[in-house]
Structures are given as structure tokens and as C-alpha cells.
Structure 1
Amino acid sequence: MTTKKHILLYNSNEPLPQQGGMERVTDLLAKALLNVGYEVTLLCKYSNRLGKTYNAPTDILYLPGNKDNRRFLETLVIERNIYCIIDQTEGDIVGRFGIFRHREDFKSKVKLIAVQHNSTRAILDNYNLAFAKDFTQTRWGTLKQFFYDNVFLKLKYYHSVCLTKRLYRDLNTNYDRIVTLSSSFIEDFCFYCPKADRIKLFTIPNFNTFESCELTTAQKHVLFVGRLRNCVKGVNKLLRIWNKVESSFADWQLDIVGDGEDRDVLEMQAQDLGLEHVTFHGFQNPAPFYQRSRIFCMTSIYEGFGMVLTEAMQHGVVPMAFNSYGSVTDIIDDDINGFLVKPFDEKEYADKLVVLMSNEDKYTKMSRAAMTKSVTFSKEIIVEKWCNLVENL
């Protein structure tokens, strides 16, 4: 690295890794860019919601949160000689709800990179599932359910499509580069923004969370790690799937690591199903769970990338997921280093889970293949892509 360009890395939330995927990615990227010689400043709106101390790897600044945001950012760019801003939020720097409404309002000529962390098309394709609600137990439940499913959700869907088209148009107009996590997301972007400048669109996946890790001891544990929010993560589906296999594998355990708004509902569901080998561990460091598990189960309706899959694969834990969003096929090669399941076929999922739980040779082969595939997302490979992008703006 012959130059030391200064990069401003923006995320609305303080990038404490334990908060979630986007925060973890921001923290890891800041460290990686520093490590290869760039100057990096972190900028955010809010402190972390967990109330924990975030040990930032570099200077971290906070927007004043009022009409001074524009002046604050303009001054920051000038005083620190910022070369480019990596906006992790899809338009919080420049956009309809951004600090600046239009690119021309931002007087600085700083380069702008937007990063798309979500698979918007996967959300829209599965809209009824992602925003499902059950009114059947309430007064006038049948009528409310009919109105919600056939009127409200349809209107909400078309409104979301319109907002997506506008967002993508704005990103295409205001940003110098747009980074997606999968090449399939480039096609999705162009689907909603047919006039997109493809020269601006790049694919850079997330890199591995762990620089080194202990391989699984391959105990009879199936693992889920993530936020307990059914409309995104589908953990209620996982409990129904586990219900199909638990009685045949009494020496196996399902570990659910994470917390969220649906935890009480899920614990009640597990009780109602009579599940005896499920443990809700709450918010924990997932590393020890990866180190003892054999199989990782993702049941998400949609994801942007799904870092928990690559985290599991780094440890040799074989992943399973619904084939419900584009980037999952970049991570899992079906029947080679994991299993992909037709969305949202719980019987097929249970059948493939049984294969991994009962076939030792199959599991061993796929475990080794999973570790091999995880190298594809090594920090060195992915950071080189970031360096090439920054240097060629």
C-alpha cells in the first residue's frame, strides 16, 4: 500500500459486534482496512442498544442528531481529508431520508459507496410470510384475517415495491459505487431499477468472522444462532421441524442461541409440542456452541448474507438453509458442503436433517467440504476486493 487514503465508515448504530450482522461487519471491515494501511474513522448516529462498552478500533464520532448534521459532515470530510465514505445503510448519507437529500447538496466531492446488506427481492417475494399476523384468536378474527391478508398486505406490498424502486433510483443517482453481497443481488437491483448504471455495481461478500477457530468436536448437537424473530428467522419453523425428528434421535440436542421479541412465544411453542431436547440459551458468545455442534440449521425467510452459515462452516459444522434468498447459493453448494431446502418445505428439511444425523460418512465428508468452502470468504480475499474498489473509484 503506497497511499494512506482516509475512509469514513458510516453505520447508523455503533458497531458493537454483538448487536447484529451489520454491526459485526462494520467493525470487522474497519479493522481490516486499518490493517492494510488505510486511515479509518467510524461515524454513527446511536450508541449500541445493549448498553455495553464498544472498544472501537479507531476514532469513532457521533452525528449531533439535529440540523447541524450537514455542517458536521462537511467539516469532517474537509478537516480529515476524507477520500471516500462507505455508507452501510443504503442512503443515510445521501437520499430521501439521508443527511443530504440530493448529491448536489453535498458540496464535497468525496466519493460515496453504498453497501446493500439485505436481499430486498427475497423480502418482497416472501412478503406474506415476512409480515404474517394471526388474528384468528381475536374477536371478529376471521374477518380481520381476511382483510389483513387480502387488502392490507397487498397494499403494503405495492407500497414497498414503489419505495424499493425509488431507493434504488436514488442510490444509482447519488452514489459512485454500489456494493452488493451477491452477484444475484445485482440482477435484483436492475430488476427494480432498469436504468441502473451497471458500471457502478460491484459484488463483495462478507468475510469470515473468525481469523482462527477450533474445529467442532462433533457432538450430537444441532445449532441455531440468531435473533428470535419469527417473521425473519423462522425459528417457529425450526421447532416444528425438530418435532418431526426428536423422537427418533433421543440422544441429540437442539441448541438455540440468541434472544429477541419472540422468545417467550417460541418457548411456549416448544412446551406445547412436548419437545424435551431443546435448550434456549439466550444471548451468548456463539463460538463454544459452534465448537461442539455437528449441524447448523438456518430457517430464515430472507437474509442479506447469513454470516452464521460461514461461521459454522469455519468450524466444520454442516449448514442447512431454505433456498429462499440469492446469496445462500454462494455459500452452500447443495449436497456437497451443506443442504439447501425448497422454501419452505418443512418435511424436506426434516428428511435432510435426518440424513445428516444418521449417516456418519455423509456428515464427515460434508463437514470437510464446509471447512474448505469457508476459505472462499477469507479476510485476505475479500479485503483485496475492497482495496481494488477504493483505489479505482
Structure 2
Amino acid sequence: MNILFVNTFDVSPHLGGTERITDTLCREFSTTFHCKCFLAYYNDIDSKYIRTSFTEKIHLKNHRQHAPLINFIKKNAIEAIILQGQFRLTKSLKKACEGINVKIIFAHHLFPGVEKSSIRFSYIIPHKIQINNIIPTVIKIGLFPFIKWHQQYKFPHYYNDTYKYADRIVLLSHKLIRPFMDFGKINDDRKFTIIHNALSFNDFFPIEELKRKQKKVLIVSRLVENPKRILFAIKAWEQICQKNPSTDWTLTIVGTGSDEYLYKKYCTDKQLNNISFEGNKNPKPYYWDASIFLMTSQLESWGLTITEAQQFGVVPVALNSYPSLSEIITDSENGIIVEDNNLKAYASAIEELMNDDALRQKYAINAISSSKRFSSESISEQWIRLIQE
């Protein structure tokens, strides 16, 4: 079977959640089900990233020129196309594929409607101001209010068109169906299929080695305050350190992002010396060593890093800020769920785990066991069944 992924970026397992899942599915489709995986993408990525291996890739210029993509589909006898959040492409691609026997599956990795609030002024400013982009940038700045209004107006239509023209819509949780329908003004739910995110790694932490875990608290995230709220986690850590100034626990933060400078400055100003920023690294060695994992996002569609933490026996402490969280964490069993925005309770929950080895180990054992529901083999098998139906 020949499967084409259409993605915004070229794929690397170290780039982001969508790319990590794409990498996992591609590897599993190829090794377990002997499929050939192809990639069409719009934006290149930094050369420092390891790229996922595909049978063949095509770098597309924009969403309006379909001829190169259609030729690629025909040349490689593509049988299924997985559109990764490509709302603007679904309708036009479906029409362009008339007469071609190909199944179009739309996979949405975000909370429905979140795109409406993600249109920010900073996005229209180039990373480098050069002579040739000064005038276009000035024009975009002047037109920004209209651009923002237009995009916010269009997104519900994109959702509606996507549901109408895709053969299937894959969401990460049953609790996301109603928000998707409400945002897109959709009255039918027959096209929805729920497939959870697969674990990024194939191995699980050995239970007999849990006692070798180190006194490390871990965050793995893009370092952007909206929606990740990393500052909330740092402030909770600050409260713990104020109460226990001689603690031998440390907080490790893995990831990069536009607000990294903000977090580093806060830590410097508050003299929080037991926090380390590791940059964009493979998180697996950090999961292996850590004992407690922090999730403070104000909105997620799933929470891939929580399940990754669980498979390595890192007990998650998460804020009750999004619907699908309860499908991953059972409170006081395989992790802890804290009332959203309650900083004192969040710091207290972390501190309780730090001080109680037996409780922490109990939750870790349960976390490892529960995470096996999301093994890459199980999740990829659900995808293959969907493609073949």
C-alpha cells in the first residue's frame, strides 16, 4: 500500500508533536505493514534536524498549485492521502483527484477552533528584515486587522469544507467531536474516527529499575507561553524552592521556542539556580532519568508528552485544562490532575510526589502499564484498518 502524508513542514522526530507522530506512523507502516510512505510538504526545516526517511518526498510551493502534487500522486500510485491539518487543501485536492482512486483522510492534531486565536501580529514580521521585504512587510502591517478578521471568518468554513470533502476525519479523542462540529457548523458525525496518538518510542521503562530514577522534575515542550504556560510551572517550582531552599531536586526543561528568553530571565531574576534549559534535544534520555513530569498547557488536543513520560515511569502532574486529559491520566492512579490555574495546589502536588518515594513508585508502575494502550503497533493497526475500510 502506498500512503502519502501531506504536512506543513518536512518531518523530523525532534521537531514537534505532529512531526513526531508522522515519523512514528511512517516507521510502523513500513516495518510492520510493508507500506511505502511518501511525503509532500510546504516548508523546509533547519538542517540541524534529523529527517525522517520516506520512499520519496516532494517540496510544494503553495496550496494553489495542484499539478505537481497530482502528478506525484499518479506517478507513485498513491492509495491513501493523510492530510495533516491542511484545511485549505481538502476541498481543492478532492476536486483535483476526481477520477483517481485515492482515499483522503484528514487528521487534526489540535483542539478544534484553536487556529482562530493563533493569528498573531508577530507572525507577519519576517525573522530577518531585508531591503527586498521592507515594503511587503509594511503593507502586511497596515492590512493586519483585515487579514486577522478574514482568517477568523474563513476558518469555520474550512472546517465545514474539510468535513464535506474528506472521506474521513481523524480526531484524537471522542471529546473533540462536538467542538469540531460546533466550530464548523456541522450537523453530521458519521465521518469522524477516533485514533489516539501513538507513543513515540517502542520501549518501556523496566519496573525493576524504578529505584534508580533520579531526583529530577522534567518539562518537555515548545517554549511558548501561549498555550504552554511554562511560566506557571516555573512559579510552582519557585514556591517549592522557597519552602525547601536546600532541596536536592532539580527542574530540567527540554525544548526551544520564542519565549525561552522570558523564562531564562525570570529564573535569573529570581535566582532559581536549580533549573536547567537543555535546548532542542532528543527527550528520551531525559525521560529515562526523571521522576516527575509537568504539563501546564491551557489547551491541548491530546498530550503526547504525557504518554511519553508515562511509558518511562515519569509521573505526570497536569492541570485540568482540556477535555481529553482524563483519557490519559486517572487522577491519583497513574498521575495527578490539579484544578486549573491553582498554583498553590499544583506546587503542593509536585512536592507530595517529591517527598513520598512509595507513592511516586506506585504511580510510576501504573503509568507504565496504562501507556501500553497507546503502543505504536496498536495505533498504526487502527490507521491501517481505517485506510483499508
TM-score, normalization: structure 2?
0.84
Alignment partner of 1:118: what SS? coil
Alignment partner of 1:384: what SS? helix
Is 2:198 the counterpart of 1:207? Answer: yes
What is the match of residue 370 of structure 1? 367
Shift of 1:161: 6.1
Is 2:80 the counterpart of 1:75? Answer: no
Runs of 5+ consecutive residues of structure 1 not aligned to the other structure:
134-153
What are the within-5 Å matches in structure 2 for residues 349-364 of structure 1? 349-364=346-361
Is 2:9 the counterpart of 1:10? Answer: no
What is the match of residue 140 of structure 1? none
CA gap of 1:67–1:267, structure 2 versus 1, over 3 A, is closer
Distance in structure 2 (CA, Å) of the matches to 1:234 and 1:225: 12
Distance in structure 2 (CA, Å) of the matches to 1:26 and 1:361: 37
Alignment partner of 2:14: what SS? helix
Is 2:109 the counterpart of 1:117? Answer: yes
Is 2:185 the counterpart of 1:189? Answer: no
Distance in structure 1 (CA, Å) of the matches to 2:151 and 2:340: 22
Is 2:90 the counterpart of 1:94? Answer: yes
Alignment partner of 1:15: what SS? coil
2:80–2:104 contact (8 Å) kept in structure 1: yes
What is the match of residue 170 of structure 1? 161
Shift of 1:195: 2.9
Match of 2:44 among 22, 37, 47: 47
Shift of 1:279: 1.3
Distance in structure 1 (CA, Å) of the matches to 2:149 and 2:62: 32
Alignment partner of 2:57: what SS? strand
| Letter matched to residue 234 of structure 2 | L
Shift of 1:131: 7.7
Cα deviation digits, residues 192-212 of structure 1 (max 9, x gap): 234343121010011111111
| Letter matched to residue 4 of structure 2 | L
What are the within-5 Å matches in structure 2 for residues 144-183 of structure 1? 162-183=153-174
Runs of 5+ consecutive residues of structure 2 not aligned to the other structure:
123-144
Identity rate of aligned residues, in percent? Answer: 29
Cα deviation digits, residues 101-144 of structure 1 (max 9, x gap): x73344334211000000135787xx69x9899xxxxxxxxxxx
CA gap of 1:382–1:109, structure 2 versus 1, over 3 A, is same
Match of 1:221 among 206, 216, 223: 216
What are the within-5 Å matches in structure 2 for residues 299-338 of structure 1? 299-338=296-335
| Letter matched to residue 167 of structure 2 | D
Match of 2:55 among 22, 45, 59: 59
Distance in structure 1 (CA, Å) of the matches to 2:121 and 2:363: 35
Distance in structure 2 (CA, Å) of the matches to 1:157 and 1:335: 42
1:19–1:50 contact (8 Å) kept in structure 2: no
CA gap of 1:156–1:182, structure 2 versus 1, over 3 A, is farther
What is the match of residue 229 of structure 2? 234
Deviates more, 1:340-349 or 1:58-67: 58-67
| Aligned residue pair count | 359
What are the within-5 Å matches in structure 2 for residues 283-294 of structure 1? 283-294=280-291
| Letter matched to residue 94 of structure 2 | R
What is the match of residue 135 of structure 2? none
| Letter matched to residue 351 of structure 2 | V
What are the within-5 Å matches in structure 2 for residues 228-307 of structure 1? 228-249=223-244, 250-307=247-304
TM-score, normalization: structure 1?
0.84
Distance in structure 2 (CA, Å) of the matches to 1:70 and 1:155: 27
CA gap of 1:165–1:254, structure 2 versus 1, over 3 A, is same
Cα deviation digits, residues 265-319 of structure 1 (max 9, x gap): 1111012223232111222221221111110001112223221111111111100
| Letter matched to residue 237 of structure 1 | F
CA gap of 1:63–1:293, structure 2 versus 1, over 3 A, is closer
Distance in structure 2 (CA, Å) of the matches to 1:122 and 1:55: 27
CA gap of 1:50–1:351, structure 2 versus 1, over 3 A, is farther
| Letter matched to residue 206 of structure 1 | N
Distance in structure 2 (CA, Å) of the matches to 1:71 and 1:342: 51
What is the match of residue 23 of structure 1? 19
What is the match of residue 147 of structure 1? none
Distance in structure 1 (CA, Å) of the matches to 2:115 and 2:297: 11
CA gap of 1:109–1:196, structure 2 versus 1, over 3 A, is farther
Alignment partner of 2:219: what SS? strand
1:131–1:231 contact (8 Å) kept in structure 2: no
Shift of 1:64: 4.3
Shift of 1:38: 2.1
Alignment partner of 1:327: what SS? helix
Distance in structure 2 (CA, Å) of the matches to 1:162 and 1:330: 32
Distance in structure 2 (CA, Å) of the matches to 1:285 and 1:197: 41
